[in-house]
Each structure stands twice: as structure tokens, then as C-alpha cells.
Amino acid sequence: MRRGSAPWPRDPRTAAPIDHRAGPHAALWSRECLIATPTTAAPFPAFTLRDADILRIICLYAAAAGLWTVFTHYALAGQFTDLQQFVRADLYKDWEFVAFSAWCLFVVLRRESQRAAAIADAGRQAADALRAAQARLSVFIDHAPVALAIFDRQMGYLAASRRWIEDYRLDRDDLLGQSHYAIFPELPNRWREAHRRGLAGEVLWAEEDRFERVDGGVHWVRWELRPWYDGDGAVGGIILFTEDISARKEAEEARRRSEERFRRFMDHSPTIAWMKDAEGRYVYLNRAFEEHFQTAATDWLGRTDADHWPADIAAAFLRHDQEVLRTGRSLEVVEETIDADGGQSVWLNTKFCVAESADQTFVAGIGLDITTRRRTEETLAHQRELLQRLFDHLPVLLVLWEPGMQRFTLNRHAEGVLGCGPTRRPVPSTC
């Protein structure tokens, strides 16, 4: 289990881990966005003038009207001596006030109405943005390529992806709100501790981890957990990503067992065996190879014949290897090597191709040590030549009959005496 930046998710532009506490991702991982769904999000309420706002406007209007009436009345009273002219002027003044105040009231109410409309529009836009973010989040969670679940601080389910439901065989309808520990009581203590550390703000992950279920099944998972934050910047819970790698682990284990069986078989073979890549670098040696040449496989792996053999021997090996790669057919060839003590060994080698993939081919070989047989053959050939010379040069008449007495061989002296010509002929009827 590790702490720090995790393999996923990261910013696709900078490859940096995404910080969910700020920036455009804050709304995506907010508590409201995590808990609500597009179908449950309430519409933004329409804006209306509050009673206090209406009372404030009425009071201002009443105060202005009263002050205007009183002051203008007394101002006009001192300017007119004729009562009729005073009344007309006072009425005219009052109508002016009504018109002016109506216009002012219109301006004030229009401004308040525009402010109310702007606030309502901003609220609708915010509600639409929230619903859109919730819809995107819902699609992201449901179709995430890995198993994903979101938890609150009590490890209760807030959301889970389809892959999570399928991997752990859960019931989607009854999942939300349930405790993770009630659904998985067999969770090991190391995972519970990781959850506590995640709720404290840490980011943790493991490339492979063994998980034993209550029913005895074993899962291998790759997981990561990271906290998510609410609007105040406090940890609201954790997001848990998991990937079931059981099939991959089983394949790796099967391959390991197969390689181990192959290695044991080849290590007990009396013949030497090896394998090289297309560039001639050794990738495998069996134990017989190491024992015969008194070396270790680590000294050969990744190196070529030119690093170990004299130039003429390495060139012969390379020529034969390339022929096998070019033709794709096996090749049986006699090759020679130099032993650790300086002696020479002769090998009857069988080389063939091993294609691991369309673009990766190896040259494998099995070698039988025929040094003793070659020396025995050379000794027999030498002795046969000596016997032939002795047989031909003895000054006596020698006749060698083959089994069945149908053919015979004469030495040179017998040929001269009998005048029979070539050796190894049918028995003459005159003999």
C-alpha cells in the first residue's frame, strides 16, 4: 500500500493528479452533486419581492409625499393672497408630485423587477448546471471502465458503477445508503485502516492485493482510494476504484507453473539447450549448458555468441541461426566449441524457431555432445587405413572371404599372382 499520487485519475493535459478540492472539478465532487441525482434535483424557485422590500418602498413613498405636501403648501401660502389662485396652484403642485412620484416609483419597481429577473435567471442557470453536472457524473460513474464506488464519512454508499455491481455481485436497488462494512464484513483490517487514512485526506493504492471472500473465493484486485471534498473544503468521504485482476493473476500463475515444469524438464536433460532472440542475445540456458561450460546463466543472458566465443566459432553460430530464422525450418548441424579447460568439443546441434508472437521469434537449440563419438570414428578410420596398408603390402598371398563365401578380397600380391584383377568379385567357377 502506497501513499501519494496514484496511477489514475490524472489530468489528460498535464498528467498531474486531479485535485478535487478546487477548480472546475470541485463542483463535480461536491456533496450535493454526489448525493443528488438528475431526477431528484429541485428546480430553482422563482424570485418574488419580500414584504420588507415592499414596506420599504411604501414608507419611502409616503415620507416623500408627506414632506412634499407640507413644505410646498407652506411655500405657496406665502406667495398668494387670492385663495382661488392658491388652491389652483396647490392642486397643480400636487398633480406634479403624483406624476413625478409615479415615474420614480416605476423606475424603482422596474429596477427591482430587473434585479429579481437576473437573480432568477442566474438561479435557473445554476440549477441547470447542477443538473447537467449530476447527469455527467451519473453517466461517468455508471459507465466507468473500472469498478468505482463513492462513500460518505460513515462508509455508506452514495453511488456505485455498473462494473462494481457486476464484479461483486451486488443488488443495485438496495445498495445506496448501506454500509460498506455491512455488505463486506470480511474486509481485512488493512483495508479498513486504508479507509480511515483516506477519510483523513490521504491517497492510497495497491497494484495487486489478495481479497478472500466469505464464501471462500479469492479475488485479486488492483485498487485506489482518494478523498472527495465538500463545499467547505472538508473531506466528505472517499472514492474507491478497484479492478479485478484475478484472471490475470491466474494466467500468470499458470504460466509460472508451465515455465517451472519446462525448466525442471530441461535441467534434467543430458543435452545442452539454449534460446536466443532474433538479435542473437541469449534468453535461456539449461543446467547442462552451465555445467558443461562451467559458467552461470546470468553471465550469458542478454549477451551474444561474439561475447563468449572466438570469432570463427561465433560467426558459424550466427550463420546457422540466421538460416533458421530466414527459412523457418529446423536445421541439424555439427558445430564445435572451446571448453573452459581449452579443449575442443563437437556438438550435433538441432536448431529451430520458436514464435512467441507475430513480431517476436526466437532461435532455440538442443545440442548432443558427440566429441567422444567423433574421436572414436577418427580412431577407427585411422586404424582401418593402417590395416589396409598392411594388407596391401604383405609379400604373401592373402584372400579375405566375406560372410556367405560369395565375395572375397585379394591383396596386391595375390592380384599379381592370380591375375584376377579388381578385388571384391564373385568367386570364379575355375577356382
Edge-to-edge strands of the sheet including 2-3? 2-3, 204-212, 218-229, 235-244, 147-152, 157-160
pLDDT at position 268 over 90:
no
> Average pLDDT, stretch 159-172?
85
**Residue that wins the pLDDT comparison between 129 and 150:** 150
Pick the range with the lowest mean pLDDT from 65-74, 108-117, 219-228: 65-74
Local confidence band at 39 (pLDDT 50, 70, 90 cut-offs): very low
What φ, ψ does residue 400 adopt, rounded to 5°?
Answer: -110, 115
Indicate the burial class of 348 (C-beta count within 10 angstroms; 0-12, 13-18, 19 or more): middle
Phi, psi of 363 (to 5 degrees): -110, 120
Distances in Å between the Cα of 249 and the Cα atoms of 146, 147, 166, 244 are 17, 18, 19, 10
Residue 351, strand partner residues: 331, 365
Mean of the pLDDT values across residues 185-194?
91
Q: How far apart are CA 252 and CA 53, in angstroms?
A: 74
Q: Binning pLDDT at 50, 70 and 90, where does residue 130 land?
A: confident
Quick one: residue 60, left, alpha or beta (phi over 0 = left, psi -120 to 50 = alpha)?
Answer: alpha
**pLDDT 10s digits, 108-122:** 777 877 887 888 888
pLDDT for position 133: 75
What pairs with residue 220 in β-bridges? 210
Average pLDDT over residues 143-163: 87
Give residue 68's pLDDT band: very low, low, confident or very high (50, 70, 90).
confident
**Digit-coded pLDDT (tens) for 138-148:** 777 777 778 88
Q: Is the pLDDT of residue 236 over 50?
A: yes
pLDDT at residue 366, rounded to an integer? 93
Distance CA 66, CA 60 (A): 10
2-19+143-249 in CATH: which number? 3.30.450.20
Please report, in angstroms and rounded to a whole number, the separation of the first and last CA atoms in the chain. Answer: 100
Strand partners of residue 210: 220
State the pLDDT at residue 25.
37
Report the percentage of the chain scoring pLDDT > 90: 27
- Of all residues in the chain, the percent with pLDDT exceeding 70 is 81
pTM above 0.75, yes or no: no
Per-residue model confidence as pLDDT tens digits over 289-341? 999 999 998 999 999 999 999 999 999 999 999 999 999 999 999 999 988 88
CA distance 211 to 215: 12
Q: How confident is the model at residue 51 (pLDDT cuts 50, 70, 90)?
A: low
Of the candidate ranges 121-130, 146-155, 396-405, the one whose mean pLDDT is the lowest: 396-405
Report domain 269-373's class: alpha beta
More confident residue, 254 or 397: 254
Distance of CA 348 to the CA centre of its chain: 45
In degrees and rounded to multiples of 5, residue 194 shows phi and psi of: -65, -40
Per-chain mean pLDDT for the chain: 78
Q: Are 165 and 172 in contact (CB under 8 A)?
A: yes
Kindly tell me the burial class for residue 300, based on how many C-beta atoms sit within 10 Å of its own C-beta (0-12, 13-18, 19 or more).
buried
SS3 316: helix
Grid cell listed for 343:
579443449
d(CA 27, CA 32): 9
The answer to whether 120 touches 44, Cβ cutoff 8 Å, is: yes
- For the chain, residues classed under CATH 3.30.450.20 are 2-19+143-249, 269-373
pLDDT at 271 over 80: yes
Nearest to 324 by CA among 286, 366, 265, 369: 366
**What is the pLDDT averaged over residues 120-127?**
82
Cα 319 from chain centre? 40
Q: Which residue has the higher pLDDT, 6 or 381?
A: 381
- pLDDT, position 406: 67
pLDDT in the model for residue 304:
94
Torsion angles phi and psi, residue 107, rounded to 5: -65, -45
The answer to whether the beta carbons of residues 322 and 314 sit under 8 Å apart is: no
pLDDT at 194: 94
The helix, strand and coil proportions of the chain, stated in percent and rounded to the nearest 5, come to 45, 25, 30
> Is pLDDT above 50 for 427?
no
